[in-house]
C-alpha cells in the first residue's frame, strides 16, 4: 500500500512503525473472511482491510479521529485473527494499538462513553476495587434485564450479566511469596503473573498451576509489587496507564531475575500473556526500560508452552470427561500457541474435540463484551452453538475472559486448561467440575 506521510510525521516513532506496517498490506482482502466483525456485519469498514484504510487516512491527515473511524475501530475485537490469515505478514496489532492511542488523544467521546471507559480503567486493573465492584454487581444482577431495555444503559446491563453468581474467597496465592519445588531437587524457577481480574474471579487457576509446577520440581515466585499487565488499558488506548503498568511489572520481575534468575515468566491468562510478550516493543523507546522490558518479554511464556517442555509423567485419573477445547484468540492468534494446550490435554488422556469456526472470537476480548455488548453476545451465542455441537462434556480454554464469556452461554462446566491438567495429574477436583463429577 502506498503511503504519503511527511518527514516530520515519520519522525514520530509510532508513526514510523505504522507507516512500515501499512506498506506491507497489499489489499488482497484474504483477512476479511476470518474477521468476526466482517462475518457478522458484512461491512467492509468492519473488516481488517477497511480499518487499515481508515487508520491510514486518519494518521496521514494528522487530524483528530472522526466519529466514523472511532465507530469501526471500536468494533474491532483486537482478536488478531486477521494476522493469522494475512499472507503478507501485516502487523495489524501494532497498527490498531497506535490508532487507539491516537483516538484517545484526539477524539472527545460522548460523556456516557467517557464515564464508562474511565470507570473500567479505574476498577478492573485493581483486584481490591474489582472485588468490591463485583460484589456490588452480584447484588445488582436482578436489574440487568431492566437496564438492557434502556439503550444508553445496555453496557451496565452487560456488566451485571457478566458478574458471577458468587465470588470465591481471596486466595493465599495472591500474595508475594515463593512456592518451593517439591521432592528435594529444584529443576527450574519461574515467576507466575498473579494478574488482576483473574485473581478475583478464579484464583483456583493459579493455585492449580502452582500445584502442578511445584509437584514437578519447579519453584514458583509471585513477585513483590507485580500487578495488572496493562492489557485492559492498552486496548482502550490509555497509553500512559498501560505503560505505567508495564514498567511496574518489568521492575518487579527484574528484581527476581537479578536475585536468583528465572527460567520463565509464566502467564495463565493468555490476554495478559500477549501483552507481557509485547513489553519489549511497548517500551522500546524508553531509554531506562527498553533493555529490561525486552528481557522480560523474552522470558514470558504461556503456562502450556512451559508445561509442554516438562515430563509430567503418567496421568493419575481414569475418569476423564470429553473436552471441547476453545482456542482463545490471544493464545492462537496473539501468541501463535496452537498445539501445546491440546497436546497436553491429549497426553493427560482426555479426548479433545476441536470447535468449528475455532478461529472466531467468543466476544470476550478484554472489555469488549462490556463496551460492545450486542456484537459480543452474537459472537458468544455462535461460539456456544459450535461448542455444544461437539457433544463434549466440558469446555476448556486458557483465558479467564473466554471462560467468563462462554460460561454465561452454556450449562457445561467451563474451566482453565491448567486446572484440568492439575486434576489429571493428582490435584483436587476443580471448582467448576466438582458437581459434574459427583453427578456422573
CB of 235 to ligand SF4, least distance (A): 11
Stretch that binds ligand SF4, among 74-82, 185-193, 320-328, 395-403 (CB under 6 A): 74-82
CB of 330 to ligand SF4, least distance (A): 11
CB of 361 to ligand SF4, least distance (A): 7
Determine, following the binding rule CB under 6 A, whether residue 79 of this chain makes contact with ligand SF4: yes
Determine, following the binding rule CB under 6 A, whether residue 86 of this chain makes contact with ligand SF4: yes
Determine, following the binding rule CB under 6 A, whether residue 45 of this chain makes contact with ligand SF4: no
Q: Which of 22, 55, 59, 80 binds ligand SF4 (CB under 6 A)?
A: 80
CB of 48 to ligand SF4, least distance (A): 4
CB of 82 to ligand SF4, least distance (A): 3
Stretch that binds ligand SF4, among 31-39, 202-210, 316-324, 407-415 (CB under 6 A): 31-39
Determine, following the binding rule CB under 6 A, whether residue 26 of this chain makes contact with ligand SF4: yes
CB of 426 to ligand SF4, least distance (A): 39
Determine, following the binding rule CB under 6 A, whether residue 225 of this chain makes contact with ligand SF4: no
For residues 92-131, which are near ligand SF4 according to CB under 6 A?
Answer: 92
Determine, following the binding rule CB under 6 A, whether residue 51 of this chain makes contact with ligand SF4: yes
CB of 99 to ligand SF4, least distance (A): 11
* Three-state secondary structure readout of the chain: CCCCCCHHHHCCHHHHHHHHHHHHCCCCCHHHHHCHHHHHHCCHHHCHHHHHHHHHHHHHHCCCCCHHHHHHHHCCCCCCHHHHHCCCCCCHHHHHHHHHHHHHHHCCCCHHHHHHHHHHHHHCCCHHHHHHHHHHHHHHHHHHHHHHCCHHHHHHHHHHHHCCCCCCCCCHHHCCEEECCCCCCCCEEEEECCCCHHHHHCCHHHHHHHHHHHHCCEEEEECCCCCCCCHHHHCCCCHHHHHHHHHHHHHHHHHHHHCCCCCEEEECCHHHHHHHCCHHHHCCCCCCCHHHHHHHHHHEEEHHHHHCCCCCCCCCCCCCCCEEECCCHHHHHHCCCCCHHHHHHHHCCCCEEECCCCCCCCCCCCCHHHHCHHHHHHHHHHHHHHHHHHCCCEEEECCHHHHHHHHCCCCCCEEEHHHHHHHHCCCCCCHHHHHHHHCC
Number of residues that bind ligand SF4 (CB under 6 A): 25
* Closer residue to ligand SF4, CB minimum distance, 80 or 327: 80
Determine, following the binding rule CB under 6 A, whether residue 28 of this chain makes contact with ligand SF4: yes
Residues that bind ligand SF4 (CB under 6 A): 25-31, 35-37, 48-49, 51, 76-82, 85-86, 88, 90, 92
Amino acid at each position: 500500500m502506498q503511503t504519503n506521510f511527511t518527514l516530520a510525521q515519520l519522525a514520530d516513532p509510532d508513526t514510523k512503525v505504522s507507516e512500515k506496517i501499512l506498506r506491507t498490506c497489499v489489499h488482497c482482502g484474504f483477512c476479511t473472511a476470518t474477521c468476526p466483525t466482517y462475518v457478522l456485519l458484512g461491512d467492509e469498514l468492519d473488516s481488517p482491510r477497511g480499518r487499515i484504510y481508515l487508520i491510514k487516512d486518519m494518521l496521514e491527515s494528522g487530524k483528530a479521529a472522526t466519529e466514523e473511524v472511532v465507530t469501526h475501530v471500536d468494533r474491532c475485537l483486537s482478536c488478531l485473527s486477521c494476522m493469522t490469515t494475512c499472507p503478507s505478514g501485516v502487523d495489524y496489532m501494532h497498527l490498531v494499538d497506535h490508532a487507539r492511542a491516537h483516538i484517545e488523544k484526539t477524539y472527545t467521546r460522548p460523556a456516557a462513553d467517557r464515564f464508562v471507559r474511565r470507570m473500567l480503567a479505574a476498577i478492573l486493573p485493581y483486584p481490591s476495587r474489582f472485588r468490591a465492584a463485583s460484589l456490588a454487581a452480584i447484588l445488582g444482577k436482578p436489574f440487568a434485564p431492566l437496564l438492557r431495555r434502556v439503550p444508553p444503559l445496555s453496557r451496565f446491563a452487560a456488566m451485571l450479566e457478566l458478574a458471577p453468581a458468587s465470588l470465591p474467597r481471596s486466595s493465599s496465592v495472591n500474595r508475594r511469596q515463593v512456592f518451593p519445588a517439591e521432592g528435594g531437587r529444584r529443576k527450574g524457577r519461574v515467576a507466575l503473573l498473579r494478574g488482576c481480574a483473574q485473581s478475583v474471579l478464579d484464583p483456583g487457576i493459579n493455585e492449580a498451576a502452582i500445584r502442578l509446577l511445584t509437584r514437578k520440581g519447579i519453584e514458583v515466585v509471585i513477585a513483590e509489587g507485580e500487578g495488572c499487565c496493562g492489557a485492559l488499558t492498552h486496548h482502550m488506548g490509555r497509553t500512559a496507564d498501560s505503560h505505567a503498568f508495564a514498567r511496574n511489572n518489568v521492575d518487579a520481575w527484574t528484581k527476581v531475575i537479578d536475585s536468583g534468575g528465572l527460567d520463565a515468566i509464566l502467564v495463565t491468562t493468555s490476554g495478559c500473556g500477549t501483552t507481557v510478550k509485547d513489553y519489549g516493543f511497548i517500551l522500546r523507546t524508553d531509554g531506562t526500560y527498553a533493555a529490561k522490558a525486552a528481557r522480560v518479554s523474552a522470558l514470558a511464556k504461556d503456562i502450556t508452552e512451559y508445561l509442554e517442555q516438562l515430563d509430567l509423567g503418567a496421568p493419575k485419573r481414569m475418569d476423564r470427561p470429553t473436552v471441547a477445547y476453545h482456542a482463545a484468540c490471544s493464545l492462537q492468534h496473539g501468541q501463535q500457541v496452537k498445539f501445546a494446550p491440546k497436546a497436553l490435554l491429549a497426553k493427560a488422556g482426555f479426548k479433545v474435540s476441536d470447535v468449528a469456526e475455532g478461529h472466531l472470537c467468543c466476544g470476550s476480548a478484554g472489555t469488549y463484551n462490556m463496551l460492545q455488548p450486542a456484537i459480543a453476545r452474537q459472537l458468544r451465542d455462535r461460539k456456544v452453538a459450535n461448542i455444544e455441537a461437539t457433544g463434549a462434556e466440558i469446555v476448556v480454554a486458557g483465558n479467564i475472559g473466554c471462560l467468563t464469556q462462554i460460561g454465561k452461554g452454556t450449562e457445561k462446566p467451563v474451566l482453565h486448561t491448567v486446572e484440568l491438567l492439575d486434576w489429571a495429574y493428582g490435584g483436587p477436583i476443580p471448582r467448576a467440575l466438582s458437581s459434574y463429577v459427583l453427578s456422573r
